[in-house]
Amino acid sequence: MPTTSTITLTTSSGTSTHVISLTSGITAGFFWCTLAGFVFYIVAFSTVGWYTDTQKGGSQHIGLWQSCTCGTHSAFDSGWFHATRAMMVIALIGFCLVVILCFIYMFLHSISKNLVIYAFTGLSFASVLFMLIGIIVFGSKIGDGYRGNVSYSFVFAIFSMMLCFAAGVLSCMQIWRSGSVTVTSG
């Protein structure tokens, strides 16, 4: 199996060449950033490590969807927590579409690469925006009177957001490199 393939598309607006490789270059970067970011996001989304509070009377570990409480603690059930959940669910849907588009771009050569890379880029940045809103809401409320601390799931969500952002930036570089965008100075 060849490690690099070159796709040349000619349209009425010009020619664009997409060099695709899983081992090196810009496409490898956004492919692996997307996959690693998605794995970190799934872990962050599904575990109980968003908030941890341990004290003499018991301990509490809270995730977006479940909590583990020993002692006299109560789980979050307020508007800001539901807003965090909503933002993270929307980001998850967007991120799933980003992963699908990434695989289509890398492995399916019978469709418009330009359309796929533009959709990939837009959805990457939209997912980052929803992740950022959810992370900011959660982080700002935890620092607002709660005794515990954010934990590993929260950190994984931040790391996942950074990888998704990097994939979006790399896809912008791929668009530029492929000649899909022409800049004219006048």
The reported pTM is 0.82
pLDDT (tens digit per residue) in 22-67 = 677 888 889 999 999 999 999 999 998 888 887 766 778 888 888 8
Q: Using CA atoms, how far apart are residues 70 and 58, in angstroms rounded to an integer?
A: 5
Dihedral (CA of 175, 177, 179, 184) sign: positive
pLDDT (tens digit per residue) in 72-129 = 556 577 889 899 999 999 999 999 999 999 999 988 888 888 899 999 999 999 999 9
Q: How far is CA 102 from CA 19, 65, 145, in A?
A: 14, 28, 41
What are the residue ranges spanned by the domains of the chain? 25-174
Q: Under CATH, which architecture does the 25-174 domain have?
A: Up-down Bundle (1.20)
Classify 115 as helix, strand or coil. Answer: helix
Helices 79-107 & 113-142 angle (0-180, nearest 10) = 160
Q: Using CA atoms, how far apart are residues 71 and 74, in angstroms rounded to an integer?
A: 9
Token duo for residue 167: 């994939």
**Of 68 and 9, which is predicted with more confidence?**
68
